Amino acid sequence: MTYGFEAVIPIETGFPTLSSNQLLSGNNDRLLSLDLDLAEEQREIAAVRLAWYQQKLRQGFDKGIKVRVFIPGDLVLHKVVRNLRNPFWGKLGPNWEGPYRVTSIAEMGAYRLEDLDGVVVPRP
């Protein structure tokens, strides 16, 4: 349980100082509530700065991205996923396989593919 008392150096008891003059119970409560209000304001300012920073990061990242839309019939290469790569190839193995033909659009940025012999690739 706290009583709101503050430790005072013995020298401060005889001489009035800035901290001992401001230490009044009503004044102390008002200053604490003001500090809490300022803490909320600082938290909101930090959230706004964080959102601005993330937006600038996103803009910088998106600047280098070129959107490419493929239509059915286009020939594309398929990225070789690390877990499906042949372990005997090592790091010098191919990163892409194909060519594949786009048969349809599965969803935003995903396409259904088939190889040139007509065998469908199982996952878009």
Q: What is the pLDDT of residues 79-88, one digit of tens each?
A: 887 777 778 8
Highest mean pLDDT among 9-13, 21-25, 58-62, 89-93: 58-62
The residues with which 107 forms a beta bridge, in sequence order, are 110
> What would the DSSP string read from start to end of 105-124?
EEETTEEEEEETTSPBPS--
Question: Residue 45 — pLDDT band, cuts 50, 70, 90?
Answer: very high
Other beta carbons less than 10 A from residue 101's beta carbon: 19
Q: What is the pLDDT of residues 9-22, one digit of tens each?
A: 665 556 666 666 66
How many helices (DSSP H) and strands (DSSP E) are in the chain?
3, 3
- pLDDT for residue 58: 93
Closest CA to 72 of 9, 124, 16: 124
DSSP 8-class letter at 87: T
Query: Is the pLDDT score of 98 beyond 70?
Result: yes
Query: Rounded to two decimals, what is the model's pTM?
Result: 0.47
| Per-chain mean pLDDT for the chain | 81
| Alpha-carbon gap, residue 114 to 124, rounded angstroms | 10
**Mean predicted confidence (pLDDT) in 36-48:** 89
